Amino acid sequence: MRKSGRGSLIVGLTLLAAACAPAPKPIVVAPKPVAPPPAPVIPPMPLPPGGAAVTMKIPAFGADGVRITPNRNLTREEYIWHLRSGINVDALNCQGPVWGEIAQNYNRYLQVHKARLSQTNKAVDAEYVKRFPRQNALRVRDTHSTDLYNYFALPPVRAEFCDKSLAKSREIVAIPSSALPEYSFGALADLDAVFINFYNAFEKYKVDIVEWNARYGPRPVVQASAPATATTVSTK
């Protein structure tokens, strides 16, 4: 009987100890980390074609939808002379092993078509005198010629223009002088296309940079204005 009592006492104490023991802490499972959203990919900021200045001005479109360049609405003789001017510019600006041939071909062109070019020069003089009767017509022509040379010397298209001029300088020495008017019309259009394509690309750049700035450009910082203070007016 004593053993049974002692056993009962031990069981009771064991149960009491178990009842007094602290409850086990629940196991906390940490949530899986949520990956942050991917950073937005910002495309490179558009740049002007050919490294042109962002502020450069380009010719507008005429009423016919064609850009107004110095090489449009010309007379038959002016087409010849403007082509000569374009190749002349590149004979000076396009040097080196690739384009050095232009100067050689240009000098040969002047010799092959010497008589026809002299006739053209006199005809263009006469056209200016008729066109500007109340002005110094030849001075006006000199001014237009300077503008034309500057037009052909546009730096952003130099490489492409030199390539085109090289091809034209090879062709022009192989044609008879009688074919010079017709050839000059088409060849000048080919040269002018280099500039028109550049102007179109620059127009696209202006649209692209506005869109890029609207989406990715820095936002202006708006500073909060200081609260207005009441003004006390003395009644004394």
25-58 confidence digits (pLDDT tens):
777 777 888 888 888 889 999 999 999 999 999 9
Instruction: For the chain, list residues with pLDDT below 70.
Output: 1-23, 222-236
pTM of this prediction?
A: 0.77
Residue 5 confidence (pLDDT): 57
pLDDT of residue 225: 63
Taking the C-alpha atoms of residue 132 and residue 177, their distance in angstroms, rounded to an integer, is 29
How far from 157 is each of 150, 160, 234, CA to CA, in Å? 12, 6, 73
CA 122, 125, 126, 129: dihedral to nearest 10 degrees?
A: -160
Q: Is 34 within 8 Å of 201 (Cβ atoms)?
A: no
pLDDT at position 186 is 97
DSSP 8-state secondary structure symbol assigned to residue 97: H
